[in-house]
Structure 1
């Protein structure tokens, strides 16, 4: 079943009606923009096992006033978060709201993320969008912010608190599963065993625990043997060291599967060791480096969660909540795998920031 969620804020509005009415745009303008975009809506929200419906998401045209949004990221070390930043900043500009972004510097910096958000709220933030360092570690803070009547939107990573106002994110369990399924299909049960090293990301982050379970479940009934699981921060230096150590311990390795940073780091390491033909690389999410790696045949595949769109939706959710308008409490783009088969035809603007985009930390301030 496909529903539609239009810029007027009403559910059930058919896309044909939206186009006919114009909603302030001509059909050409709608076709050229990012919306309508196919997303999934979980109901009841905040539970990835809930039933889903498919929704055509269309944002508000403009905010009623220049609301002040605070955005908190774990870091800005890689192009994945740069893409989220682009989606958030561009949508804030489109809606005419103010946005201030802080980044904690890495997945070890939970206390810094908490203090940065507290400062944001003290400085007048009217809504907070959080890409969480920890699945459980922000719950007390969310409780405090919620108690002040300030909405909190959980973007990308996942927060376990039930006091979240909305979620703009996908199932990283399914992201991990899609990567696992890709490898498992190449090496089904009964075929020659292959040795895989798995790099899920920083231990304790909600998306990492989900991704790990999804991947491990997807490969358990196949010829895949996971010979090593290495957790670590998604900085390139950390991931390069983990890859180096793993190759030293397992010279007969067949696959490296892990974060986008792992995949990007693995390519030059494998080249320098003369292992590019022996060890195949798969990422479980998508970045420009992974995009280039797939194009060049250095990385086999990666699922995309349309990162830019998640950022856009989080901003739209925040504004809708502040203005008392109807909103989807839990939305996430539909997942699909990018490989050499569709690398030249997928929607780049939904997953990657434009070439040359640099971090934007404030809008309208």
Structure 2
């Protein structure tokens, strides 16, 4: 099973050599990405419920080119581009049609509602929804159900119980895995280390969840002293200012832990202050910049939610539902931490879109 997915560089090189000018994105779309370690929730509409580990294997192919309509908040950042890539790659592999609508940003709830209504009016066979709002799409989801169109909730989550399936991680678990990683490095009773925690904007639900998970992951470990928690907007200027203040307050700091933006901001500051060897940086979620920084030794570790796999599983769930196959109502990739010890053996395209991939809005299998 693959968590993370492992493929050898020699195998990838051989495939590219055989196919010639075909892009990496097209090659990877045909690769076997499974089985992949996932978790299945016992109570699908309770994100905090118990779950079981399951090696996920998708269908080999669809029985017909089902028309799957996808609605995402946007495809302007690395996260949603990775979701887009997973959706496109799995649609091609299974042989389904796919058309994607993007709302243009999180302020455009009305536009996303209208786009989902367009999916319904166009007689789509299924809808994959990366929702802008936790509550705001419930009515249009109910409308889809009235039209017997299954809705698969991917990545962001909605409160509606009318969705047919979910491919949805727990944000709290991102913090939990990060906290456990530190606790494992510094067991109870070992030399104490000082940690500064930068979870993100104050009052944001996802930040509160990550914060709760992080503290839980530390599990009361007295060898880890969280000397400051700094909430703030996740723009680089704000994060650099906060980190600089914390470094001034705690010249003997050992760790900066927080958002990917905090991690990226810390790299420059630590170099300027000649503290890169003393202070280690950890991100509780994954981005291309963090990925490269781990490779360069500038970031110690980051937790990944295997973003591409979420997109792939959502498409497979849709096809399973349409064909009356067995499916898990709530499933998501098992989270794991990436560091220098395992990054060399990872298939990056389980987490990130290939560098040559561009936002793709339609797959036309026949």
User: TM tier, shorter chain?
Assistant: 0.7 to 0.9
CA distance in 1, matches of 2:108, 2:244: 30
**Distance change (3 Å), C-alpha of 1:79 and 1:323:** same
Q: Deviations over 1:178-209 (max 9, x none)?
A: 1122234445667546241323469655x544
Q: Number of aligned residue pairs: give it.
A: 330
Normalising by structure 2, report the TM-score. Answer: 0.79
Shift of 1:40: 2.0
| Structure 2 residue aligned with 1:281 | 281
Instruction: Say if 2:198 and 2:262, in contact at 8 Å, map to a contact too.
Output: no
CA distance in 2, matches of 1:50, 1:271: 43
| Structure 2 residue aligned with 1:314 | 314
CA distance in 2, matches of 1:314, 1:143: 19
Alpha-carbon RMSD: 2.9
Q: Deviations over 1:127-180 (max 9, x none)?
A: 221222333333333223223222111112222221111111222211111112
**Distance change (3 Å), C-alpha of 1:55 and 1:247:** closer
Instruction: Say if 2:244 and 2:269, in contact at 8 Å, map to a contact too.
Output: no
Indicate the SS of the match to 1:161: coil
Shift of 1:295: 1.0
Instruction: Say if 2:240 and 2:262, in contact at 8 Å, map to a contact too.
Output: no
Counterparts in 2 of 1:1-365, with a 5 A limit?
A: 33-186=32-185, 192=192, 194-200=194-200, 204=204, 207-219=206-218, 221-222=220-221, 223-225=224-226, 227-230=228-231, 232=233, 238-250=234-246, 251-252=248-249, 254=253, 255-268=255-268, 270-271=270-271, 276-277=276-277, 279-364=279-364
**Distance change (3 Å), C-alpha of 1:269 and 1:145:** farther
**Distance change (3 Å), C-alpha of 1:120 and 1:212:** farther
| Structure 1 residue aligned with 2:23 | none
Structure 2 residues without counterparts, runs of 5 or longer: 2-29
Shift of 1:34: 0.9
**Distance change (3 Å), C-alpha of 1:110 and 1:270:** farther
Moved more, 56-65 or 151-160: 56-65
Shift of 1:346: 2.7
Instruction: Say if 2:198 and 2:230, in contact at 8 Å, map to a contact too.
Output: yes
Shift of 1:59: 1.7
Moved more, 109-118 or 270-279: 270-279
**Distance change (3 Å), C-alpha of 1:197 and 1:144:** same
Indicate the SS of the match to 1:344: helix
**Distance change (3 Å), C-alpha of 1:306 and 1:128:** same
Instruction: Say if 1:239 and 1:265, in contact at 8 Å, map to a contact too.
Output: no
Q: Which protein, 1 or 2, shows the higher relative CO under an 8 Å CA cutoff with sep ≥ 6?
A: 2
**Distance change (3 Å), C-alpha of 1:212 and 1:114:** farther
CA distance in 1, matches of 2:165, 2:89: 20
Moved more, 122-131 or 91-100: 122-131
**Distance change (3 Å), C-alpha of 1:363 and 1:278:** same
Instruction: Say if 1:72 and 1:102, in contact at 8 Å, map to a contact too.
Output: yes
Indicate the SS of the match to 2:343: coil
